[in-house]
Amino acid sequence: MTTIRDLFDHNRAWAAEMERTRPGFFTGLVKQQRPKFMWIGCSDSRVPANQITGLEPGEVFVHRNVANVVVHSDLNALSAIQFAVEMLKVEHIMVVGHYGCGGVMAALHGSRIGLADNWIRHIQDVRDRHKALLESLAPERRADALVDLNVIEQVVNVGVSTVMVDAWAKGQKVTVHGWAFGVHDGLLQDLGMSVSSTESLESLYPAAVARAAARAG
Ligand SMILES: [Zn+2]
């Protein structure tokens, strides 16, 4: 069993190996972070942003919460997005869901799990918005479809935030993407919702929803 002591041992070994293979790596990081990417993902321990994408320390700015939800009253998420866009000038923001997400499944089935019920209510809103679509699918396909739909809706939430509206109005080049990760195969899927302007938000949405339905159909 892994102990806390092991974590420090692994950390020292990792830092030594990094310094051995790439001398100066850490002193370079001290100067600044200049990531091109922001990751908005689920807190689930099986979906680590850096490992999945092969990105190193300093290369991706990460915000994670239960079921990768972006809520307009969530100062934590919005502050992270604003910092990423205005200060770091990231070029890509990825909203990344994952199949088998406990938060999405709880939302689909209306299960009560505690304090998070209030958070998951946002995903139930997604479920209710796409009720007819979800009900047209075989019951065992609905969870995966809701994972995709949740990502698509959260891309919209990022895109209509004041941060993105202002950035795009100023001509800043930043694209918001919607991806889903397969815990079962380790692969990322692009959900076809890569938005780089307020206009493309509206034009891409219907096709992305239709694709989510087709994937699950
Ligand atoms: Zn999850």
pLDDT digits (tens, 9 = 90+) for 120-162: 999 999 999 999 999 999 999 999 999 999 999 999 999 999 9
Provide the pairing of β-strand 60-65 with 92-98: unpaired
pTM here? 0.95
DSSP 197: S
Retrieve residue 138's tokens.
Answer: 């075989």
The C-alpha torsion from 44 through 157 and 77 to 36, rounded to 10°, is 80
Residue reference for tokens 């002193």: 27
Distance from Cα 44 to the centre of ligand 1, integer Å: 5
Which residues are part of the catalytic machinery? Answer: 42, 44, 46, 98, 101
Q: Which residues have a Cβ under 8 Å from the Cβ of 46 and sit 6 or more positions away?
A: 98, 183
Helix (H) or strand (E) holding 131: helix 131-135
Distance from Cα 102 to the centre of ligand 1, integer Å: 5
* Cα angle for residues 87, 84, 165 (degrees, 5° grid): 95
Distance from Cα 103 to the centre of ligand 1, integer Å: 6
For residue 199, pLDDT over 90 is answered with yes
Residues 25 and 38: their CA atoms lie apart, in Å, by: 21
Distance from Cα 23 to the centre of ligand 1, integer Å: 37
Distance from Cα 9 to the centre of ligand 1, integer Å: 29
For residue 32, pLDDT over 80 is answered with no
Report yes or no: 127 and 103 within 8 Å, Cβ to Cβ.
Answer: no
The whole-number average pLDDT for the span 2-24 is 96
